[in-house]
Amino acid sequence: MRTRALAAALLLALATGAAAHAAVLTPLVIGWEQFFTIEWQPDTRNGAPYVSGYIKNDWGMPAAKIRLLVESLGPGNQVAAQRVEWLGTTLTPGMRAQFQLRAPAPAAAYRVSVFAFDWVQAGGGDQR
């Protein structure tokens, strides 16, 4: 009987600890701000929270598979909820694209950053 109680307590502690230490997502490319400019503002669509804005490729190479990290912020700009969304287009150098992304949760403030992307490099390659 005591072994069962100990095992149950251990499982509860592990489950509680895992939930308390959920990982916060951060951009996969440190310094993405040197490659892209993002402008956004809070928005709503059919009563749901969104962020609307623009992203611009400031670098000299096309970027593809762009994923944006949208964060709902709580008091003190603490991350309350997160969502990663695909931009859905390749950005050539100097190109600007509009986005409307669902926010992960209603909040007083939001933050949008580039979570990940791939540079598109042309030509060369193995011509077998």
> According to the model, what pLDDT value does residue 35 have?
98
| CB-CB contact of 22 with 81 (8 Å) | no
Position 10 pLDDT exceeds 90: no
> According to the model, what pLDDT value does residue 123 have?
59
- Which string of b and e fits 69-102 if b means at least 16 CB within 10 Å? bbbbbeeeeebbebbebebeebbeeeeeeebebe
Average pLDDT over the chain, rounded to whole? 85
Architecture of domain 25-119: Sandwich (2.60)
Summarize pLDDT for 14-55 with one digit per residue, the tens.
Answer: 443 444 557 899 999 999 999 999 999 999 999 999 999 999
> According to the model, what pLDDT value does residue 5 have?
43
Position 82 pLDDT exceeds 50: yes
Summarize pLDDT for 59-75 with one digit per residue, the tens.
Answer: 999 999 999 999 999 99
> According to the model, what pLDDT value does residue 13 have?
42
* DSSP one-letter code for 91: B
